[in-house]
Amino acid sequence: MYSVEDKRIHNLNGKDAINGSYVLYWMQQSQRAKYNHALIHAIQIGNSLDLPVLVFFGIDSGYPSANLRHYKFMIDGLAEVERQLQKIGIRMITWIIDPVEGVVRLSENAAVVVADFGYLKHQLIWRKEAASSVKCLFSAVESDVIVPVETASMKEEYSAATLRPKITALMKFYAELPPLIKPLKSSLPLNLNSVNLSDSESVIVELDIDKTIIPVEHLKSGTTAAERTLKRFIESRLDEYTEKRNHPSMSFSSELSPYLHFGQISPLFIASEILNTDSPGRDDFIEQLIVRRELSVNFVYYNKKYDSYDSIPPWAAATLKKHQSDRREYLYSRREFEESLTHDLYWNAAQNELVTTGKIHNYMRMYWGKKIIEWTESPEVAFDYMVYLNNRYALDGRDVNSYAGIAWCLGRHDRPWKERPVFGTIRYMNDNGLKRKFDMSGYIKKYSPVL
């Protein structure tokens, strides 16, 4: 019988199972019914105790930096999760509530509480608070990484080069795709109220959130949409991924980052599908999906200052401080950046792509960040602007990859380069590099803002 690996499971309160009416799974990060280690663990416990499984999701109006764009995508995905769980006899309860409060309330009748795992500060705090408040065993299961974070490394890694051999050595032990098991007892008869997820507009009306950032209407949410996106990527873009993924005017990225951010698709399932091909782009994509993504997890888990300028390495802070008083040819306010009002057509196009589509092409995201450093009065201000803009507009913002990517622009997971004004020895990028490497006309035509 399949068993969730012990290293994925964190016992957060040291308590035991007690008499209860159900096993409660608190779904928050892993918003899916398929290949979800936390859900599987809850079902296995429920079956062993002859109890049904109840799934709870708490919609928090105060989720950091989230707005209408993010909530709409999330709620539409949750509606699919609810339907899929119902098919296997699991009741899903969704409340508009502080998630910890909701978990504690429902735990009054639970024998065990299982949660999925998150790596950002508020996610860790939520689980710690809930674990200390419930009467029964509370465990959290890492469902959104290939290798559990502490198993991969017990410290913050310097770069991909130092994490890669550790991850590579462990992948074979964590590569088994979990089965799609069902509970032996149904929780559908449980009489508990829940919001109507199938009517996302009625749910959103009840939320006290920023509703000025409109949803990305063309992008479908949920596990089915994620799996279709993966299938299209494998069939039409993976073979040329290595050669063309960095070209801004070409669409050769996987487009999976929003689905990964909301936990709507398992990274282990993605890896399994990719590794099942003999595509020439396979290894480079796996490098991004596993090594680079889990380097970001390592960063935010071990660096408690990940969301501030203080997260950059000492050598980068020193060289930027040395060049703090260097003359900046251009200086822009946050509003000017937000409204794509710089002198640089390429940068404006990247910002407009972010605002209108909820993403920036991966290569242009690096250029976007480097230019913000160059055109602000200090690197501290640049860091804050990047966090604000990315978290506000990107569907995959407020993510481990977001914070690691912003810190990378300021030297994290990188090395010193040739010394230059403003940048010191952190990596530099300019528009001449874009024009030399790529045909940028298509990108400009597609994303230049209409002024």
Pick the CATH number of 1-144 from 3.40.109.10, 3.40.50.1470, 3.40.50.300, 3.40.50.620: 3.40.50.620
In angstroms, the Cα distances linking 202 to 1, 198, 238 are 42, 9, 39
CA distance 110 to 268: 29
Q: What is the DSSP letter of 396?
A: T
- Give the pLDDT mean for 282-303: 98
Domain boundaries, the chain: 1-144, 146-177+223-302, 309-447
- Give the pLDDT mean for 10-20: 97
Percent of the chain clearing pLDDT 90 (strictly above): 96
- Give the pLDDT mean for 121-147: 98
If we measure between CA atoms, which residue out of 246, 284, 253 comes closest to residue 439?
Answer: 246
- Give the pLDDT mean for 382-395: 98
Residues 162-173 pLDDT 10s:
999 999 999 999
> Is residue 428's pLDDT more than 80?
yes
In angstroms, the Cα distances linking 237 to 210, 226, 243, 257 are 36, 15, 10, 16
Residues 28-82 pLDDT 10s:
999 999 999 999 999 999 999 999 999 999 999 999 999 999 999 999 999 999 9
CA distance 83 to 71: 19
What pLDDT score does 350 carry?
98
- Of the listed ranges 136-140, 306-310, 446-450, the least confidently predicted one is 446-450
CATH 2.40.30.40 at 146-177+223-302, yes or no: no
CA distance 356 to 315: 36
Domain 309-447 fold: DNA Cyclobutane Dipyrimidine Photolyase, subunit A; domain 3 (1.10.579)
DSSP per position, 37-91: HHHHHHHHHHHHHT--EEEEEEE-TT-TT-BHHHHHHHHHHHHHHHHHHHHTT-E
Is 146-177+223-302's fold the same as 309-447's? no
Residues 103-126 pLDDT 10s:
999 999 999 999 999 999 999 999
Residue 294 near residue 164 (C-beta atoms within 8 A)? no
Close Cβ partners of 433 (under 8 Å, ≥ 6 residues apart): none
Amino acid letter, residue 370: K
Rg (C-alpha) for the chain, rounded Å, is: 22
- Give the pLDDT mean for 84-113: 98
- Give the pLDDT mean for 236-253: 95
Q: Report residue 5's pLDDT band, with 50, 70 and 90 as the boundaries.
A: confident
CA distance 316 to 328: 18
CA distance 8 to 143: 8
Please indicate, yes or no, whether the overall pTM of this predicted structure exceeds 0.85: yes
Helices (H) and strands (E) in the chain, counts: 21, 6
CA distance 111 to 324: 57
What pLDDT score does 394 carry?
98
Structure-derived torsion over alpha carbons of residues 258, 264, 265, 267, reported in degrees to the nearest 10: 70
- Coil, strand or helix at 224: helix
The alpha helices in 172-214, defined as continuous H runs, are 200-205
Q: Mean of the per-residue pLDDT values for the chain?
A: 97
What pLDDT score does 1 carry?
64
